[in-house]
Structure 1
Amino acid sequence: MHTRLATSGDAAAIAEIYNREVTEGTATFDMVPRTEAEQLAWMREHSGAYPCVVATSGQEAGATVMGWACLSPYRPRPAYSTSVEDSIYVHRDHQGRGVGDLLLGHLVALADDHGFHATFARIADAGAASIALHSKHGFDLVGVEREVGRKFGRWLDVTVMQRLRPR
């Protein structure tokens, strides 16, 4: 496996992984799948300080995108500019193989390299694997937001975790 910055050529694979969570899962609270054009527009916003990375099956051209992750601004107000939120999505066929671990390791390094002080994870529906993954990478539990989302006729909680950049 290999991680690298995402390119526009990854848009369809990223959208496929994301859209499955939109239509079948609770990892995102989005309700409408993204088109490839919408995914490309989203990717343009996730470059520079807020990168999107992919995990691929190898380094060769045409390697399978197994998952992706990104950093996003935590909140729009200027005082929050030193904080980011992470997102990680692994294709269901590749879960349990260390893809998420590889992606989060790369993302945490990028957050540190870009000078972000705090990285937050917002984990929907008590995702035990995601909570364990974030704990492994130095995230601590902040709290649980109760019934803040509704999807598939169910109220969903969001677990909030935070990692501070080592000093």
Structure 2
Amino acid sequence: MNYSYRLAKNKDLNEIVDIYNHSVKTLESTCDIEPITLSSRQPSFTKQLNDPIRPFWVAELTNVGITKVVGYLNFSYFMNERPGYYVTADLAIYLHPKYQGKGVGSFLLSNAIEKAPSLGIQTLCTTIFDSNIASKKLFKKHNFQDWGLMPGVAMLNGVNKDLRIVGRTL
């Protein structure tokens, strides 16, 4: 399968919300426990579309005659947008369930690592539920180091979740 990425556009929001809501159901990738709506996501999405140093990418399947959004990567500000932290970006990667394990996450992450320095980013990090083996493997494959475990910081439908932070200096 061939993939490409591009900056997200307003027209992508429906697919982005759909992909995100698939992950909500799994209780493995987000602390949201109920699906989100287009209207609840629109304000933060619109704000990020206009941010030149924290892009929001969609991954597209680009096989013969087919173009379909299959995932996304979001560069976010680290630690509440305090300027001293602008050298660090917090990454979020979400994939449509039909395209998980098919190289989309690795494609997005390798491009993020390559592009980050041109955005003024020196360090990339993310948080992963400790039970999310696939995400931990993905980031380890791309040389992210384990920076620590935060035990029991989330409660999802009565289940305590540990959160791991991983990062990489570029």
Question: Structure 1-normalised TM-score?
Answer: 0.89
Residue identity (%): 28
Deviations 1:21-72 (A, max 9, x none): 2244220112343222333322223232111111111189972111111110
Q: Which runs of 5+ in 1 are unaligned?
A: none
Q: TM-score, normalised by structure 2?
A: 0.88
Residue 143 of structure 2 is matched in structure 1 by 138
Q: CA RMSD in A?
A: 1.9
Q: Deviations over 1:61-120 (max 9, x none)?
A: 972111111110111233222111000011111111001111111222232221112111
Residue of structure 1 in register with 2:87 after alignment: 82
Q: CA deviation at 1:143?
A: 1.2
Map Cα deviations across residues 104-153 of structure 1 (whole Å, 9 max, x no partner).
11222232221112111100143121111112222111111101000021
Q: Say which of 150, 161, 165 aligns to 1:160.
A: 165
Partner of 1:40: 42
C-alpha contact 1:14 1:67 (8 A) present in aligned 2: yes
Aligned to 1:69: 73
User: Any runs of at least 4 consecutive aligned residues in structure 1 with deviations exceeding 6 A, and if so which?
Assistant: 59-62
Gaps of 5+ in 2: none
The residue identity in structure 2 corresponding to 1:2 is S
SS across alignment from 2:33:
coil
Q: 1:96 aligns with which of 94, 101, 112?
A: 101
- Residue 133 of structure 2, aligned match among 113, 117, 128: 128
Q: Contact 1:123–1:160 at 8 Å: present in 2 too?
A: yes
C-alpha distance in 2, partners of 1:72/1:139? 17
Cα distance in 2, alignment partners of residues 45 and 144 from structure 1? 31
